Chain A
Amino acid sequence: MVTLTIDGKEVTVPQGTTILEAARSVDIRIPTLCYHDRLNPIGSCRMCVVEIEGYTHPMAACTTPVDDGIEVVTKSDRLTRIRQDSLKLILVNHPLDCPVCDKGGECLLQDLTYEFGIDQVEYKAAKVERESQYATPLIRYWPDRCIMCLRCVTACQEIKGIGAISIQGDGYGAQVVAVDAEKCQSCGECLQVCPTGALTEDLSRYKGRTWLVDRVPTTCTYCGCGCQLELNVQNDRVIAVTTREGVGVNHGSLCVKGRFGYEFINSDERLTKPLIKKNGKFEEASWDEALDLVASKFSAIKEEHGPGALAGLTSARCTNEENYLFQKFMRAAVGTNNVDHCARL
C-alpha cells in the first residue's frame, strides 16, 4: 500500500493506483474529460492535471500512478488556467450548437464549459476541415463537434478489439477516420463513450431532448446474454436505445442489434392483433377467438395422432421464464417431449 496526501487529505491505496483513482476513493473530484472508467487512461484532454509538491511540472492525474509520500494539489490558479485554456482551445473549433445537438443536456464539454465559466475565447485559428464520413451508416459523425478525446478510438480497440477507427494526420489537421471500415461491426461502442455530440445515432426519425425522454431500463431480447439497456421513450415511442456504464453483464456495451434494432417496435407493419385465415384471407380476431382456435386444433391433432404429432420450438428472444413455461406446457399439457429452442440450432 502507498500513502499520499491529496489536498492535504491522507489517502492509502494499493501500489499502481493512479492519482485520479486515489482522489476518487476519498471523494475528491478532479475534472476529467477524456477519462472513461472502462478504458485505459488516454491523457488527451489534460483537464485532470495536478501539481505534486517538489516537482516543477504538472502531471495528468489519470495517467500518473501514486507514489509514497507525495503531496498532490488538485486546485490552484495555475491549474485553473491550464484547464480553462484546454477548454478554450477546444472551443476554437467546437461550435456551441448545443441547442440543436442531440447530446445537449448530457454533454461533458457543455458541463465543463459551464463549470469553468468560459464565456469568451480569445484564441483564434482557422477552422479545420475534416471529412465527415464514418465507418457505418448507423452512426452520424459531426466532424466539427469532435474534440478528438480519442475515447471512441480507444473503445473500438480496447473493448471490442476491432480497431476500425483511428487517428490520421498530424497536428491541427489530425482527425478520427475509419481506417478499416470493413472491420466495423456497427456495435456503437464509439457512440456510447463519446462525451460530446460528435457521434450520434443516425437512425431514428424522431428526436427528443435528453431531459424530456423517459429512460426505461430493460433486458435486451435479441439473444440469451441478457444485456441491460434503456429504451428512450417519448410520447409512447421508443426513439433511441442507451446503456449505462457498469450496469448488467454488458457494462454498457451492446451489439448492433441491441443498440440499433428497435425501430420495429413502432413499425406500422408490426402485428398487434392476432389474425385468422378465413376463406384464404387473414382477418383480425380477438385473443380469445385465436386461442380457442389453437386449443381446439391442438386437441384434435392430439386426439387423432397422439401427442407425439405435436412439437414446439421457442425463440431466443423469449425470456428464460417464458421458455420454462413453454416446455412445461408442451410436456405437462400437451404431453410430448418434442420441444426445442432456436438457439440450439
Chain B
Amino acid sequence: MAEILFSSWGGEVVDNRQKDGQDFEPVNTVDLPEYFRQDEAVKALMGWYGIVIRDPETDIVDLSRVYIQEVQNKSCGKCFLCRIGTRVMAETLTRICNGQGKSEDLEILKRLADSIRESSKCNIGQSGPLPILDALEHFAADFEAAISAQKSVAAGTYHSKLTAPCMDACPIHLDIPNYVECIKEGRFAESLDIIREKLPLPGVVGRVCVRPCEEHCRRMNLDAPISIKFLKRFVADYELSKGKEPEFAIEPSEKTGKVAIVGAGPSGATCAFHLAKMGHDVTVYERFDEPGGMSAMGIPDYRLPRPILREEVDRIERMGATFNYETTVGKDIKLSQLEADNDAVFIAIGAQMGTTMGVEGEEENYAGYISGVQYLLDINQGRDPYPEGKKVAVIGGGNVAIDCVRCSFRVGKDDVNLIYRRTKNEMPADDVEIHDAEEEKVNFHYLTHPVKILAENGKVVGLRCVKMELGEPDESGRRRPQPIEGSEFVIECDIVVPAIGQTMDLSLLEGREDVKTTRWKTIVVDEVTKQSDQPKIFSGGDCETGPGALITACAGGRTAAFNIDKLINGEPLDYTEDDYFDKFFSKVKVFDPAEDIGFLGGRERKELEMLDPDTRKFTNAEVEQGFSINDAMAEADRCLRCYRVATVRV
C-alpha cells in the first residue's frame, strides 16, 4: 500500500507530513485502496470517520467543499441543524474556494460543525461535519491561506456516495434506514415500495434471510441490532392482510428484447422481475412444477409458508413474465436452442445436489440413506421420505442440517439426532435456528464424526461414529477437529441424512466448454456484471457462488438483469460508480464494531411470538408469528439512521 501522509480515520491521528518516507508511521484504522478504478488512483478520502490523505497535492479546502456539499445534498431535511447548517457550511466553503473567504468564516464553520454534530437527529448530521472539524484543526494553515489569497482554488475530480452499515452489508443494498423509518412513521406502503425497488420477494426474504445487515447494525454497539428482517416481513404481511395488489410501473427500456431464464429460484425470479419491469420479453424455464427453487423445495413450510412464496412469484407472472414449469433445460430443451431464440440467457440453476461425506457404506444405496436436499424435497412435497424409518441421524452443522432435523419431527420421526464434528460455538447455522431445534428436543451430538453406515439386508440400522477433539486452528480460523482414538460408538438409527453441503448439476452445460466452470463446479462469470465468456450467457445465484444465501442469489439476479438490459441496448457492460464503491467499501469498512456511539442505549429489541415448541414440532404451521403494528413501529423507532457520506479524491 502506498504510504499515507495524514489520517484521522476513526479518531486516531497519524501525521506524516513532516516526515521522510521511511519514517512514516503506519495507519491502522483504515486500509485505503490504491485505485478507485483501473485508471484512477485514490488521492484522498473524506468521510464519516475522518480524513485520509495519500497524495500531497490534495487540496483539503476543495475536498472539504465537495464533501460537505454532498452531505447537504443527502441530508433528509428532517432536522433543523443538519438541513440548514450543512447548507451554510457548504456555501461558506464554496465562497472560500471561489476566493471570497472572510476572516470570520473559519470560526463560524467550527461552531456550526460542533452544533450540527452534537445535536442532529441522525447519523448523516452527526457524522457529516466530523472530518471538517479534523480539517480545520490539522490543516488550519491551508484554510487561512485560501482565505487570505482571495483566489479561486482549483477544483478536483471526486466520487461521492451515501451509504450505511446495514445497507452496505446487504448484498442487494436495500435502503434499510429509509424503509425502517417509513415503518416508524406508519407509512407501510411506502416502506414496501422502497424494498420492492430492488427485491420482489419481501415476504420470503423477510422470513428466512440470513441477515448480514443485522450483523452490521450499528445499534448493536448500544444494545441489540434492529430487527431488520422481521420489519421487512411486517410490511409484506401488512399489505397481504389488506388484500392490496401492488402496482409495478413497467418502464420499457429504449430497446427491449427476449430473455430466457433457467431456474425459477430466487435468483431467476428476481432477474425476471427486473427484466419485466424494463419491458423485456422474459421466459423462465423451471424443471419442477412450482417456483422458488430451494426456498420452496429446501426451506420447510414452518419457516416459510408456500402461499407467501407463490403469491410473490405470481405477481412477477402478472407483470408479464412467462413461467414454463416442468421443463428441464438440457433435457427438454437445449441451452443452444435458448441461445438461438433469445437475446440473452440467464442461468440460475442453483446448487441442488447433495454432496457425499466420504464415509464407508455411502455408495451402497442402502434403504434409509437419503441426501439432505432430497429428504427436504420429499417432505416439502408432502411425502414421508422413508416411512419405515423412525430414528434419524442427520450429519452437518449448517442451516440445511437444522432444517432436516426439525422437519423430521413433522413427518412423525420421534428420535432425531444431529451429528456435528465441532462444538456449538463453531456451528455455522443461525443461532436462532439452533435454539429452536434445541427447544424442539433434537439430540445434539457435538464433536462427533461418522465413520461407517451400518446396514442389514440393504437397510440402514446404525451409524458408527467417533468422538473428536479440537486441535489447532485451520485456514478458516476455526479449530480443526481430530478423532480421539478408541472412542468409536454406534448411534442406532434407520435413516441417515448427510447434510454437509450441496453442489451443482451442470449437465445442461454438457459439450459447452466455451462456458467456463471452476473445479468447485461453479459457473465462471464476471463478478460484477454476471456475464460469462459467452457474451449472451449470464449466470448468478448459487450456481455462480456455490451454495449461499437467498439474498445473495437475488442480488445476482438483479445485477444480471441490468447488464442484460445494457447488452440488448448495445451499451458496454461497464462497471458503475456504485460497483466501484462496493469494492472500495470492502476495504474501507462502513461498520466499525468497536465504535463508541456515545448515546444512551438499553432499548429492548422486539422479539416475535413463537408457537409452543411441544406442539409446533408436529405441524407445518409457521412457527414465528409476525409483529403487531405497535411492535413494528416501536422496533423501527430504535433505528439510528446511520447514513453517512464518503468522498474520494481521484
Which residue numbers of A lie inside 8 Å of B, CB to CB?
43-46, 49, 52, 55-60, 64-65, 67, 70, 78, 81-82, 85-86, 89-90, 92-93, 122-126, 147-148, 150, 154, 157-158, 163, 167, 169-175
Contact = CB atoms under 8 A, between A and B. Distances in A.
B599 A89 contact: no
Interface in B57-90: 72-81, 83-88
B112 interface: yes
Contacts of A46: 79-81, 119-121
A89 B80 contact: yes
Contacts of A175: 77
Given A59-B599, A171-B86, 13 more contacts: A44-B78, A46-B81, A49-B119, A58-B118, A65-B603, A82-B115, A89-B81, A89-B84, A89-B88, A125-B84, A163-B187, A171-B73, A175-B77
6 contacts: A45-B80, A89-B88, A123-B112, A170-B75, A174-B78, A174-B83
B1 interface: no
B603 to A, nearest CB: 6
B108 interface: yes
A67 B600 contact: yes
B433 interface: no
B75 A56 contact: no
B600 A52 contact: yes
A256 B73 CA distance: 38
Contacts of B249: none
A44 B185 contact: no
B307 interface: no
Nearest to B79: A44
B111 interface: yes
A271 to B, nearest CB: 46
B477 interface: no
B91 interface: yes
B597 interface: yes
A172 B186 contact: no
A158 B186 contact: yes
Contacts of B486: none
B126 interface: yes
A52 B599 CA distance: 9
A170 B74 contact: yes
Contact of B81 (A85, A93, A167): A85
Contacts of A169: 77
B570 interface: no
B76 A170 contact: yes
B234 to A, nearest CB: 18
A86 B81 contact: yes
B111 A85 contact: yes
B358 interface: no
| Residue among A52, A92, A125, A150 with max Cβ neighbours from chain B (10 Å) | A125
A60 B121 contact: yes
A171 B91 contact: no
A319 B412 CA distance: 69
B77 A81 contact: no
Interface of B: 72-81, 83-88, 91-92, 104, 108, 111-112, 114-115, 118-121, 126, 185-187, 596-600, 602-603
A124 B88 contact: yes
A157 B121 contact: no
Contacts of B596: 56
Closest 8 CB pairs between A and B? Answer: A174-B77, A56-B598, A57-B598, A85-B115, A172-B87, A89-B84, A171-B75, A46-B119
Contact of A157 (B111, B185, B598): B185
Nearest to B597: A57
B194 to A, nearest CB: 14
Contact of B73 (A85, A123, A124, A170): A170
Contacts of B84: 89-90, 92-93, 123, 125, 172
Contacts of A49: 118-119
B79 A43 contact: yes
B12 to A, nearest CB: 17
A43 B80 CA distance: 10
A86 B73 CA distance: 19
B507 to A, nearest CB: 51
A55 B598 contact: yes
Contacts of B120: 46
A78 B84 CA distance: 19
B91 to A, nearest CB: 5
Identify the interface centre among A78, A89, A158: most chain B CB within 10 Å of its CB. Answer: A89
B83 A172 contact: yes
A93 B92 CA distance: 16
A110 to B, nearest CB: 16
A57 B72 CA distance: 21
Pick the most buried of B73, B86, B87, B119: most chain A CB atoms within 10 A of its CB: B119
Contacts of B83: 148, 171-172, 174
A59 B83 CA distance: 18
A329 to B, nearest CB: 49
A188 B178 CA distance: 28
A92 B108 CA distance: 14
B78 A150 contact: yes
A174 B73 CA distance: 10
A121 to B, nearest CB: 10
A24 B96 CA distance: 45
Nearest to B107: A122
Contacts of A52: 600
Choose among A43, A46, A147 the residue with the greatest number of B CB atoms under 10 Å from its CB. A46
B127 to A, nearest CB: 11
Nearest to A51: B118
B75 A125 contact: no
Given A44-B121, A171-B87, A64 B73 contact: no
A85 B112 contact: yes
A123 B108 contact: yes
B111 A81 contact: yes
A70 B600 contact: yes
Contacts of B88: 89, 92, 123-125
B58 to A, nearest CB: 25
A194 B83 CA distance: 19
A187 B167 CA distance: 39
Contacts of A154: 185
Nearest to B184: A40
Contacts of B74: 170-171
A86 B78 CA distance: 13
